[in-house]
Amino acid sequence: MKDLLRIADLSPADLEHLLVLSEQVRSDPHANADLLGGDTVITYFAKPSTRTRLSFGSAISHLGGVPEVVGPSELQLGRGETIEDTAQVVSRYARAFVIRTFADDDVQRFAAAATIPVINALTDGHHPCQALADLLTLRQRFGELRGLKVAYLGDGNNVTHSLMEACALAGVDISVATPVGYEPDPEVRAVAEDLAQRSGSRVTVTHDPLLAAAGANAVYADVWLSMGVSEDEKALRAKDLRPYQVNAAVMAEASPHALFMHCLPAHRGEEVSAEVIDGPHSVVFDEAENRMHTAQALLTALVLGQLDGAATAVTS
């Protein structure tokens, strides 16, 4: 396995390896300080980023590498050089390429043409690096992932998709509640259901937020307007998604002391109430910290060729 484009690219054993390695990285971030030997890892952002950009920068430094941060306006890619030519050129310079952009298809094309590992740092369809950090956070809190239930309330987006695949791969029940018209991609749902069948967990998609939250060990929220979605949709989305806000009434349906999770950035008073995100059961900053440990583990595992990949490669 060369790249990580979505969580379903991983086998259950790969996931376990990444989580164990992330814990090792957390307790000793500089243990592998010679891995990159001063080589460059390029991180490319066509959308804004705080956590992904800065956590990868720290992770690359811990591994003895040099982070080179670029965006479309700095590369000829922004003036029409092909994805394939760019991918082949950067493969001659860097040890890995981390990419945040819009279309999943662009990242697939990049990965297919590159000879170095390519990591999806958020696309319209997936956010696998976030889901790895989320699973690490759950594991730190609960010890064992298998048998937990996670509820996601809101827009069925990139974060939802990766969370569904990650929970299903790890044996965690995932219950997603969205308004009509905001459901997760049926292709992702089918992939997650297949993974869940193998791990013995369940994927539920509903329009009922309280049903989704019932008995959950963690309740997850994300923004109502993702990057790349037109601002023109803001008012409509606010109206449609309001009943899916994670607030005290929703948390009361979950398991006692259930965690609140959010990938950040958050909008208090929209997808989550201030009392929940700033309350004692919120783990949002642990998730943010874990972005760095899981990024470092992922880079290490891909550079060293330690991941086998899923038995059946998923291509979209």
Catalytic positions: 100, 127, 130, 222, 263, 291
First to last CA, the chain: 16
Please tell me whether residue 104 binds ligand NVA under the rule CB under 6 A.
no
The interface with ligand NVA within residues 157-176 (CB under 6 A) comprises 157-159
Indicate the pairing of strand 259-262 with strand 218-221.
parallel
Q: Shortest distance, CB of residue 168 to ligand NVA, whole angstroms?
A: 19
Q: What is the spatial order of strands in the sheet that 94-100 belongs to? A: 66-70, 40-45, 94-100, 118-120
Residue 75, amino acid: L
Please tell me whether residue 43 binds ligand CP under the rule CB under 6 A.
no
Please tell me whether residue 131 binds ligand NVA under the rule CB under 6 A.
no
Q: Give kind and range of the element (H or E) at residue 169.
A: helix 158-170
Please tell me whether residue 241 binds ligand NVA under the rule CB under 6 A.
no
How far is the C-alpha of 264 from the C-alpha of 267, rounded, in Å? Answer: 9
Q: Which stretch binds ligand CP (CB under 6 A): 16-24, 45-53, 182-190, 304-312?
A: 45-53
Between 35 and 297, CB nearer to ligand CP: 297
Q: Shortest distance, CB of residue 227 to ligand CP, whole angstroms?
A: 8
Q: Shortest distance, CB of residue 262 to ligand CP, whole angstroms?
A: 9
Q: What tokens were used for 310?
A: 């899923």
Question: Would you state the torsion angle of the CA atoms of residues 229, 284, 165, 148, taken in this order, to the nearest 10 degrees?
Answer: -140
Contacted by 89, from ligand NVA, ligand CP, none: CB < 5 to 8 Å by type: none
Residues that bind ligand CP (CB under 6 A): 49-52, 122, 130, 263-264
